């Protein structure tokens, strides 16, 4: 999959795609339905999205809400067969475009799209003035077709990123997965930490959750994909999301212990899938009690993941 961060001066081979357009935060089953409608036998499959998320641009001080960072989103879209990913830089200039200007300058002249699919609730252009129906009308004038995808439901409720965030906030990882169509994942680079886990017999891979919606703090059974480096592969693991109250820290992060793994993962990229919530974070009376609980967490995670 090719990733483009602009719409200007593209090679001819990178234009003319049939595209799905939206924010695609989470790449859930509703998003997949939009992407599936964009598939055409003789045209490349593309996705147009925005970076940063428009909500992040307009309300920079609001609490983190994103389900996926750009890396996770790109990995998921590639698995769905997307060939051209256009991550349009959402800035003041793009935000100021009217619906007519956006359709002409970006979609028609810049990307040369042949076909566009959007969800029924799609809005675009300055002050969100454009709707899916607006885009259909503009497409007829500018030479591309527009299909509007109906909202996807599960259990009588529309699937949405908001509903998925709620499930994750409550530790309902499998409910979130049912709406996503895949496990909720956090991807990123392994960072250097305080190396306390190594001293306790449980070395962990530390990853940032900055800018992301924080799932319920606590310990999870996780599936781990090592994406880079000499130890590429899939592993079982137990992970903690939170602030590590035992050590008086208050900045959330993700710490993952890879079961039956030996090696150094610093600087490598991991994808952590949250499978089951095991228990809340808590402070222990001492290190022996903490280690005993970690033994139990790993045994429980192993049993859950082996049964999948």
Determine contact, residues 189/269, Cβ cutoff 8 Å. yes
The per-residue pLDDT for 153 is: 82
Where do the structural domains in the chain lie, given as residue ranges?
2-154, 184-306
CATH class of segment(s) 2-154: alpha beta
The per-residue pLDDT for 183 is: 97
End-to-end CA distance of the chain: 30
The per-residue pLDDT for 247 is: 46
The per-residue pLDDT for 252 is: 87
Kindly name the residue from 71, 255, 281, 292 that is annotated as catalytic.
255
pLDDT 10s per residue in the chain (308 long)? 999 999 999 999 999 999 999 999 999 999 999 999 999 999 999 999 999 999 998 988 888 999 999 999 999 999 999 999 999 999 999 999 999 999 999 999 999 999 999 999 999 999 999 999 999 999 999 999 999 999 888 777 789 999 999 999 999 999 999 999 999 999 999 998 666 656 667 899 999 999 999 999 999 999 999 999 999 999 999 999 987 644 445 678 999 999 999 989 999 999 999 999 999 988 888 888 888 999 999 999 999 999 99
Alpha-carbon distance of 157 to 163, in angstroms, equals 9
What string of DSSP letters covers 50-105? EES-HHHHHTTTSPP-BS--HHHHHHHHHHTT--EEEEEE-SHHHHT--HHHIIII
Multiple choice CATH, 184-306, 3.40.47.10, 2.40.30.30, 3.40.50.970, 3.90.1570.10: 2.40.30.30
Task: Give yes or no on whether 2-154 and 184-306 have one common fold.
Answer: no
pTM above 0.75?
A: yes
3-state secondary structure of 138: helix
Active site residue 43: no
């Amino acid at each position: 999959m090719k990733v483009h961060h602009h719409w200007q001066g593209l090679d001819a081979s990178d234009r003319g795609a049939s595209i799905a357009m939206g924010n695609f935060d989470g790449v859930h089953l509703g998003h997949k339905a939009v992407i599936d409608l964009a598939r055409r036998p003789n045209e490349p499959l593309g996705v147009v999205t925005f970076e940063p998320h428009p909500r992040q641009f307009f309300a920079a001080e609001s609490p983190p809400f994103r389900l996926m960072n750009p890396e996770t989103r790109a990995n998921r879209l590639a698995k769905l067969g997307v060939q051209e990913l256009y991550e349009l830089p959402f800035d003041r200039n793009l935000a100021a475009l009217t619906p007519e200007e956006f359709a002409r300058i970006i979609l028609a002249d810049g990307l040369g799209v042949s076909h566009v699919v959007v969800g029924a609730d799609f809005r675009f252009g300055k002050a969100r003035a454009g709707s899916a129906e607006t885009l259909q009308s503009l497409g007829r004038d500018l030479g591309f077709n527009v299909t509007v995808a109906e909202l996807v439901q599960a259990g009588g409720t529309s699937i949405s990123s908001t509903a998925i965030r709620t499930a994750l906030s409550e530790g309902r990882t499998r409910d979130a997965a049912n709406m996503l169509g895949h496990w909720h994942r956090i991807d990123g680079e392994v960072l250097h930490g305080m190396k306390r886990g190594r001293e306790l017999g449980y070395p962990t891979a530390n990853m940032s959750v900055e800018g992301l919606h924080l799932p319920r703090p606590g310990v999870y059974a996780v599936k781990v994909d090592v994406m880079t480096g000499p130890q590429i592969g899939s592993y079982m693991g137990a992970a903690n999301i939170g602030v590590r109250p035992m050590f008086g820290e208050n900045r959330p992060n993700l710490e993952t212990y890879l079961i039956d793994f030996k090696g150094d993962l610093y600087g490598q990229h991991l994808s952590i899938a949250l499978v089951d919530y095991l228990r809340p974070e808590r402070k222990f009376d001492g290190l022996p009690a903490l280690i005993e609980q970690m033994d139990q967490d790993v045994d429980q995670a192993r049993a859950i993941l082996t049964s999948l």
